[in-house]
Structure 1
Amino acid sequence: MFVNFCRIRKCQLVQLMTSCLLLSVVMTCWQQLDLIVVSHVKSYSYRYLVNSFTYINRSLTIPREKARSFSDFPYLLDHPDKCTGKDVLLLVFVKSFPENTERRNAIRSTWGNEAYIQNTLGVTVKVVFALGAIGTTKVEPSWSKKSYSSFQEELIQEDKLYGDLIQKNFLDTFHNLTLKLILQFHWMHSWCAHARFFMTADDDVFVHMPNLVSYLQELNSRGVTDFWIGRVHIGSPPIRSKDSKYYVPYEMYQWSSYPDYTAGAGYVISSDVADKIYHATLTLNASIHIDDVFMGICANAINVSPQKHVYFSGEGKAPYHPCIYNQMMTSHGHVEDIHELWRAATDPEVKQSTSGLFGKLYCVAVRVALLCKPHFVDTYSCKAAFL
């Protein structure tokens, strides 16, 4: 009896210790659990059950005089005649930090080469770079004031050489990306409103321009309107963790879900949508610093919804393979490899090797192997393998 009693006491002790351990683990992980799981549950519930984004739009509407503070910055570099007298199929605004000179040069010599696009693809595409101003938060503390002015002088010389920098006098930081987005829509409204389509992209994004041009030409021939396409985020919750660069406090955005939006790495809209977005920016509070979310807020205010295209990448990088190049529109995270990718993706043999019945069947099998993986990769979905 004594032995059995001791065994019972030991069993209870083990159960107690196990319960305490589990409880401590749950308490330790609860904050992370709340940020990831609970926030998504709340977000999807709000998105599909409450769905009161109309109220959000009303609450973010401000007087025009106040809204002007988000756009009323003087131009440091500008090219109002960039689109004058030209039949522009696509205006591309590349978001770039002032110091990313090498990235801009890489784009100019690859997918953003206007001469190549005109001579090889037979259409006019205008590519410009959106920049803010360099400031003390962006440079080394040891730099002198003379260094700031000399850095701006380098940008001026770069612009004299290429004529494609659009720069306003606000500090170029991550938290001012929404100001950079507003810059783009206001510039297009003023100087390139006749462009059929508008695209915004990061300066580490690869755009398969031949594929994109072919796609937009077909859409243009059908007179498509209310068009907004990219990698769509549906029912995304605000990030409440202060450790994240995407942190948004309740004071800035108090609701559980964002309106649907496309990843800011790269998306395309039609000119009529660009014009409506411009007018939306004239009356909406743009203090939220996540530019793609602000785009979703503006689009929701004008009743335009994003459409998913499986070959627009999110934050991920597309796999390297001719069967991917044949379909790809954008891929994110390309800096050192952009020249190599451009040569490979535009090689005439890509179309030849992926055409015909055998080529198409082979590519489906390859794309299934590359894209249909059990773990999540923020690039093309498995569905893209069968298109």
Structure 2
Amino acid sequence: MEDWRRHVKHISILIFGAVVIFLFYHNSKRKSEAWEPAPEPDNYHVPYPGNYKFIMDETQTCQKTTPFLVLMVQIAPFDVAARDAIRRMWGSEKLVLGQLVETLFILGLPGGADAEQQQKKLEQENQQHHDLIQSDFQDSYGNLTIKTMTMLEWLSAYCVKASFAMKIDSDMFLHVPNLVKLLLDSNSSKALNYMTGLVWWHSPVLRDQSNKFYMPKTVFAEPEYPPYPLGMAYVMSLDLPRKILEVSSHIKPIFIEDVYLGMCLKRLGISPTDPPAKTMFLVDPVHPLSTCYLSKVIAMTTTSIPQMKSYWERSRQPDAKC
């Protein structure tokens, strides 16, 4: 009986020891996991460069013409209303201050359940207007960097004889005469390595994970981004697309397209140029603008197509000045 008790006691001690060791290990592991930072998901980069191809680019722009300025409007495939409005408004201005200006729309593939139907409508639209440049990437907010880089590819391939190109969003009012006047200025008309717009200097990298522009240190370690023109509208001399594409192969693209452009410019040793006046590029204007203020604008965001139309019509009036 005594031997049996000692045997049971021995087994109990072994079991207790095993439980203590298990609990200690499990608790230590939990503490270790609590202190280790969670790995960052790699959704801050985009899949470019890639083997993207142009599936629609039957325009005569830059192929049978040599424009002074090419306006490249980045737009969603489904947004026919904005394209038609721009065609009727500032996109209709072809000869400005003696210079040829042409407008094109750049887009990717439509998505959703009706993507095939949307694509057929785009092909019909292009048969009528011949002003769509479409590449075979999926058109989405997360692919704006791809959209910009394919725009640069097209400009580099077809528009080297043109002088300038502007990337502009489809919700912008554009005062084309003011833009052409700026580019005819002696300081920029024959410029190389020239890019201007609303330039953001010393822009802080956002580390708040709740912000849609959050950027982890594992992707971009510096506290500030290099200077870059805000993506709503910027203009460049047409020696730049090729140069940017060349250095882009050494810089992993991020999803913030205008920041990535600034990263490429920094690699080139090129800095964007501030416009002569702050009134020329407006990201969040207080509407409605006075006629005097409107006469100084080059590009600004609008809240609707009717508002864009109102500003365009006012800007063309003989008394549209201070």
Distance 1:256 1:163 in 2: 44
Instruction: Find the counterpart in structure 2 of residue 117 from structure 1.
Output: 94
Cα-to-partner distance string for 1:28-81 (whole Å, 9 max, x where unaligned): xxxxxxxxxxxxxxxxxxxxxxxxxxxxxxxxxxxxxxx995242122312364
For residues 138 and 189 of structure 2, what CA distance do their matches in structure 1 show? 41
- The verdict on how the C-alpha distance between 1:328 and 1:318 changes in structure 2, with shifts beyond 3 A counting, is farther
1:329 pairs with 2:295: no
Distance 1:103 1:285 in 2: 32
Contact 2:295 2:320 in 1 (8 A): yes
**Alignment-derived partner of residue 82 in structure 2:** 103
Partner of 1:348, secondary structure, is coil
Q: Distance in 2 between matches of 1:97 and 1:347?
A: 31
Corresponding residue to 1:128 among 83, 104, 107: 104
Cα displacement string for residues 203-250 of structure 1 (whole angstroms, at most 9, x for unaligned residues):
101110011112212248852222111111111122222332222233
Counterparts of 1:235 and 1:127 in 2: how far apart (Å)? 32
Aligned to 1:215, which of 182, 185, 196? 182
8 Å contact 1:227–1:269 — kept in the other structure? Answer: yes
Percent same amino acid among aligned pairs? 29
Matched-pair contact (CA < 8 Å) for 2:153–2:241: no
Structure 1 residues 209 and 69: alpha-carbon distance in aligned structure 2, compared to 1, 3 A threshold: closer
Is 1:297 paired with 2:266?
Answer: no
1:311 aligns with 2:279: yes
1:93/1:201 contact within 8 Å kept: yes
> Structure 1: where are the runs of 5+ without partners?
1-66, 137-142, 355-387
1:1-387 correspondence to structure 2 within 5 Å? 69-79=48-58, 81-113=60-92, 116-118=93-95, 121-136=97-112, 143=113, 147-219=114-186, 223-286=190-253, 288-309=254-275, 310-317=278-285, 319=287, 320-336=289-305, 337-351=307-321, 354=322
Query: Greater share of helix residues, 1 or 2?
Result: 1
Which amino acid in the other structure matches residue 285 of structure 2? Answer: K
**Number of equivalent positions:** 273
Q: Is the 8 A contact 2:159 2:238 kept in 1?
A: no
Instruction: Give the Å deviation of 1:331.
Output: 0.7
Task: Name structure 2 gaps, 5 residues minimum.
Answer: 1-45
- Normalized per residue, the structure richer in strand is 2
Query: What is the root-mean-square deviation of aligned Cα atoms in Å?
Result: 2.1
TM-score by length of 1: 0.66
3-state secondary structure, aligned to 2:72: strand
**Secondary structure of 2:215's aligned partner:** coil
Cα drift, residue 106 of structure 1: 1.1
1:300 CA displacement: 0.7
Cα deviation digits, residues 366-387 of structure 1 (max 9, x gap): xxxxxxxxxxxxxxxxxxxxxx
Distance 1:261-1:194 versus aligned 2 partners, 3 A rule: same
Equivalent residue letter for 2:133: I
Change (3 A) 1:221 1:298: closer
Distance 1:253 1:185, change over 3 A: same
In 2, Cα distance between equivalents of 1:124 and 1:324: 26
Q: State how far apart, in whole Å, the 2-side matches of 1:84 and 1:220 are.
A: 28
Displacement of 1:105 after TM fit?
Answer: 1.1
Cα distance in 1 between the residues matched to 2:116 and 2:189: 49
1:296 aligns to what SS in structure 2? helix
* Whole-angstrom distance in 1 between the partners of 2:186 and 2:259: 26
